[in-house]
Amino acid sequence: MSSKKFTCLIIIVILLAVLMTACGECKHDYIERDGRVVCVECKEVCVHTYQIDGQNAYCTNCMFACKHSYSESNGEMICSLCNLTCIHKYTIVHSTSLCKSCGKACVHSFDAEGKCTECKIECPHNYEENNGEMVCTTCGLTCSHEYVVKDDEGLCKFCEKPCEHSFDAEGKCTECKIECPHNYEENNGEMVCTECGLTCSHEYTLKEGKGVCQYCNKACVHEYAESNGKQICQKCGHETILLTMSNVNDYFSVTFHVFDVTIDEMMFGKKVGEGFAEIKVSNKKGVNYNNVVLTVVLESSTENWPSRVTEIEISYSGYGEKIISISSKMSTYVSSNPHYTAKITGVTGTIAG
């Protein structure tokens, strides 16, 4: 064999050895199958060796990203596979802020506006009173108060502090807009609210047959006018009966007597004196009367002798009996059994509501 042929044979042997060696090592083409990373050629399962790259970690063999499995260690969330420390990125899930990577709940740090500097969630606020202010115990925010009407009460919609009402001239709160409930009391002849200072403008209505203001319950001072033969109040609608001489004796009776009589003179053998008259006005029907004025003639007489007469006016309102003592003395008989009679000769007024 020539040296040239021998040299060619050696080269062929070496090439065959190289090719045989190369064919014995798989180049590995990895895919994920059934939760594992395996080579499509040799079926070998990749044994991951991770290298951290920023916020990710990749296997140096298969280049697959690590599927992190985080657990807490010394306050940090660390992947047990690649040792990557999670840098949290939060998202809000059902009103709770959770890290999108490791699922850890945000440990909130709120700014002056009550917003978390980490996850941007709004503080749910738990307000308690502190030195006259309503302060959130979670973030320290002082409530600025916006009042609304809730269950007929003015409350702050954030902290539910009751509104300290400030009413305007119309009786409406300038803060929560609630209408003043009004507690009226009489002041210099007017019905004035003790809460807001509003003077009642009065709108009268009938309540249990009586004319009263529907706001302050002040009794109506009736102003009657005739309508279809009836006397009807123009303010509250109350119907009444106008007292006249034709019906006054159905409603009132008047009696009187004279006392503390002192002899003043002798007249034809009769003793005549002066005393004080006491008059009793009886309400025969027990109804309520409104500004009645009775003109009454009081007469003291004795048989076959001229009468001693006095005329007076009696004002009457309300119910029941009224007893009056007239301030000036009237002339009467001292003896011979004088008779006292009282006669109504004039009347104005109505039955009240």
Rounded distance, CA 207 to CA 216, Å?
13
Closest CA to 335 of 261, 251, 237, 257: 261
Question: Is 308 a member of any domain?
Answer: yes
Based on the structure, what is the number of domains in the chain? 2
pLDDT at residue 152, as a whole number: 83
For residues 337 and 257, state if they share a domain: yes
Question: Is 275 a member of any domain?
Answer: yes
Residue corresponding to tokens 């400030």: 166
Contact between 156 and 190 under an 8 Å Cβ cutoff? The reply is: no
Question: Is 320 a member of any domain?
Answer: yes
Give me 294's structure tokens. 């009775």
Question: Strand, helix or coil at 104?
Answer: coil
For residues 224 and 316, state if they share a domain: no
pLDDT at residue 258, as a whole number: 82
For residues 321 and 234, state if they share a domain: no
Rounded distance, CA 120 to CA 140, Å?
16
For residues 229 and 287, state if they share a domain: no
Question: Strand, helix or coil at 218?
Answer: coil
Question: For position 327, which CATH number holds?
Answer: 2.60.40
Q: Are strands 224-227 and 30-33 parallel, antiparallel or unpaired?
A: unpaired
Q: Provide the residue type at 22 as one letter.
A: A
For residues 219 and 264, state if they share a domain: no
Question: Strand, helix or coil at 11?
Answer: helix
Give 264: exposed, middle or buried? Use CB within 10 Å, 0-12, 13-18, 19+.
Answer: middle
Question: Is 11 a member of any domain?
Answer: no
pLDDT at residue 20, as a whole number: 47
Closest CA to 338 of 240, 258, 219: 258
Question: Is 95 a member of any domain?
Answer: no
Give 202: exposed, middle or buried? Use CB within 10 Å, 0-12, 13-18, 19+.
Answer: middle
Radius of gyration for the chain, computed over Cα atoms and rounded to the nearest angstrom: 55
Question: Strand, helix or coil at 42?
Answer: coil
pLDDT at residue 3, as a whole number: 61
Question: Is 295 a member of any domain?
Answer: yes
Question: Is 335 a member of any domain?
Answer: yes
For residues 222 and 254, state if they share a domain: no
| CA max distance for the chain | 204
Closest CA to 52 of 44, 41, 60: 60
Domain range for 258 is 248-351
Give me 213's structure tokens. 């203001």
Stretches in the chain below the pLDDT threshold 50: 17-21
pLDDT at residue 135, as a whole number: 92
pLDDT at residue 4, as a whole number: 65
Rounded distance, CA 93 to CA 110, Å?
19
For residues 342 and 268, state if they share a domain: yes
pLDDT at residue 304, as a whole number: 65
Rounded distance, CA 99 to CA 108, Å?
12
- Among the three residues 193, 222, 240, which one is the final residue of a domain in this structure? 240
pLDDT at residue 42, as a whole number: 85
Rounded distance, CA 255 to CA 297, Å?
10
For residues 254 and 326, state if they share a domain: yes
Rounded distance, CA 294 to CA 261, Å?
26
Question: Is 327 a member of any domain?
Answer: yes
For residues 216 and 252, state if they share a domain: no
Contact between 134 and 159 under an 8 Å Cβ cutoff? The reply is: yes
Which DSSP letter does residue 231 get?
A: E
pLDDT tens for 38-82 read 888 888 888 888 888 888 899 988 888 888 889 988 888 999 889
